[in-house]
Amino acid sequence: MLSPLQQDALKEFMNITIGQAGNVLSEMVNQKVRLEVPEVYLLQKLESSEAGERLSGYLTGHVVSSVLRFEIGCNGVARLVFPRDKGKLLVNLLLDDEPLYSGENGENGFSETDTDAMKEVGNVLLNVIVGSLGNLLETRIEYSLPEVEFLYLCDGEQRPDLCDGYYTLVIRNTFVVSDTRIEGAIFVMLCLDSAVQLLGKIDELLVELYG
């Protein structure tokens, strides 16, 4: 859906935005947290493109998702998603716990403290991303409190909250903590009007960059 130039401009915008979130997380946990954005897409249907198919394959099985619901001209949902074991590893690194995955904390392997930590990571990251989109689109945003969900996604199953009639901003992101790299993905569901506005703002960024 994005041209190569539009994709580059959006990726640069998101790198700056997510870098800000990394600084906030670093201060919270008193250690360096670096965030990278290797890929950014704007998709109408997740399974209708090669990029979407790769992401669908990556996010199959048990996953943990920090969820932020918002209103940006229409109702939307933003999700930070990890394979469950990767999410647990990230939480352990941020809390400076032993990086072990165990069922001792319950069926999902997360203690209440782990779940709260994942919620806070999503709160910081998703608020920064959705807030930056609101600033870019020059519109006010209403937020909900973040939630954490544990899901099981079957191969080929529709991804959560990625529905017909909506466009989805997909951001592949990598957390780097203590030299450990943990890959996840961010999904921001937008209605048609917001997606069209976003494309227009991306084109404005291109004019600023290249004239």
Task: Kindly list the structural domains of the chain, giving each domain's residue range(s) and its CATH number in brackets, ordered by start.
Answer: 4-85+122-210 (3.40.1550.10)
Maximum separation of any 2 CA atoms in the chain, in Å: 58
The rounded distance, in Å, linking the Cα atoms of 130 and 133 is: 5
The rounded distance, in Å, linking the Cα atoms of 74 and 60 is: 29
What are the structure tokens assigned to 121, written together?
Answer: 């990571």
The rounded distance, in Å, linking the Cα atoms of 59 and 209 is: 34
Q: In terms of Cα–Cα distance, which of 118, 52, 130, 113 is closest to 85? A: 118
One digit per residue, pLDDT tens: the chain, 211 residues? 788 899 889 998 999 999 999 999 999 889 999 999 888 988 876 555 566 566 665 677 889 999 999 887 667 889 999 999 999 999 999 988 755 444 455 557 899 999 999 999 999 999 999 999 989 888 888 888 899 999 887 765 555 544 555 788 989 999 999 889 999 999 998 888 888 899 999 999 888 877 6
